Amino acid sequence: MSTLTPADVDAVCDLVDNLCGLCWDSSKAYLIESRLANIFKRSGCANYVDFAQRVKANMLPALKSEVIDAVTTHETLWFRDNSPFEALKHKIFPEMIDAKATTALPKRFRIWSAACSTGQEPYSIAMTLADLVPDIHRWDVQIVGTDISPASVETASRGLYGEMEMGRGMDAQRLNKYFTKEGAQWKIRDEIRAMCSFSTRNLHDPFTGLGPFDVIFCRNVVIYFTAEDRKSIFTRMAQILQPNGWVLVGSSESLGDMGPKWAPQFHCRANCYRPTMAGGASLTQSQAIHTK
């Protein structure tokens, strides 16, 4: 293992911030060697400073997506943490269905899974909705999955998963209902796949062309960003929410520092927020709702 100089570490940390908005510092030096060493060796660069400069300048386009894929976290599973999907089933989706019943588009849902990794989250959302609505194929549902990693988006788009991936959170009933076996892999059925679309997107870029959404999932990703970037992302998400729309974050995350409009609601132990309550109303901390 080569010895990293302070200049190497600074250059790579700056590159990671530039490409992904991730906040790496000298304490993450071990990640440089563990995640980027093989890519660096194939680059032909003299050192990591040269490597970082050339990737940033897009002089190594074939390696740029590999760097993004290497430094981002791909930890995911079906129905991760479960509580957000219970909140969808028992609170959010039923309330949305009732609220839309008398509107011009009573069967139209728009949902965003930000940082969707290899697709398990958006497909889990689609299956939750299909479990609840038997004729979901007659509804106008668009679940948008985005991720910064091109490789992850490609996997999500294929909708093909191996036995190891299926063993992480997928129950036998849904496996048989929503998947078909193709050789050694499992393929998501067309009625679920049709509800989902996938694209590469950096959350630090403008949300042009996105929304408005009824629900946004943004879980376990902004914990790697600076406080300023985190606030910017959620502020911009609120701007592309429908009135009374929902934002769900990770089980260990809190938006308590975002102001009174971001007072939490806890449904089925999920962390839920409604920053665009109708009429501009906002909740106070004392009004946070706790639902078993």
DSSP-assigned letters across all residues of 79-131: TTTSHHHHHIIIIIHHHHHHHHTTSS-TTEEEEEEET-TTTHHHHHHHHHHHH
CA separation for the pair 18, 131 (Å, rounded): 41
Residues 253 and 121 in one domain: yes
Look up the CATH number of the domain holding residue 37. 1.10.155
Residues 64 and 101 in one domain: no
Look up residue 210 and give its two tokens.
Answer: 């996105």
Q: What is the pLDDT of residue 74?
A: 73
Residues 159 and 206 in one domain: yes
pLDDT, tens digit (0-9, with 9 covering 90-100), for 150-166: 889 999 999 999 999 99
CA separation for the pair 200, 184 (Å, rounded): 27
CA separation for the pair 217, 145 (Å, rounded): 10
Give yes or no for residue 123 having a pLDDT over 60.
yes
Give yes or no for residue 43 having a pLDDT over 60.
yes
Look up the CATH number of the domain holding residue 266. 3.40.50.150
Q: Which domain holds residue 47?
A: 6-71
Residues 63 and 91 in one domain: no
Give the confidence band of 278 by pLDDT, cuts at 50, 70, 90: low
Look up residue 71 and give its two tokens.
Answer: 């430094």
76 or 62, greater pLDDT: 76
Rounded to an integer, the average pLDDT of 129-134 is: 95
Give the confidence band of 185 by pLDDT, cuts at 50, 70, 90: very high
Residues 146 and 251 in one domain: yes
Tally of domains within the chain:
2
Q: What is the pLDDT of residue 147?
A: 94
Residues 216 and 106 in one domain: yes
Residues 13 and 63 in one domain: yes
**Residue among 157, 261, 141 at smallest CA distance from 200:** 157
Examine residue 288 and state whether it is found in any structural domain, yes or no.
Answer: no
Residues 38 and 98 in one domain: no
CA separation for the pair 207, 114 (Å, rounded): 11
Residues 65 and 178 in one domain: no
Give yes or no for residue 116 having a pLDDT over 50.
yes
Examine residue 289 and state whether it is found in any structural domain, yes or no.
Answer: no
Examine residue 77 and state whether it is found in any structural domain, yes or no.
Answer: no
Q: Which helix (H) or strand (E) holds 182?
A: strand 179-182
Q: Are 148 and 115 in contact (CB under 8 A)?
A: yes
For residue 7, the tally of other CB atoms under 10 A from its CB is: 12
User: Of 47, 71, 95, which residue sits at a domain end?
Assistant: 71
Residues 49 and 99 in one domain: no
Examine residue 267 and state whether it is found in any structural domain, yes or no.
Answer: yes
pLDDT, tens digit (0-9, with 9 covering 90-100), for 211-222: 999 999 999 888
Residues 47 and 139 in one domain: no
Examine residue 284 and state whether it is found in any structural domain, yes or no.
Answer: no
Spatial CB neighbours of 266, under 8 Å, sequence gap ≥ 6 = 272, 288, 289, 290, 291
Give yes or no for residue 224 having a pLDDT over 90.
no
CA separation for the pair 121, 34 (Å, rounded): 27
Look up residue 243 and give its two tokens.
Answer: 């009135």
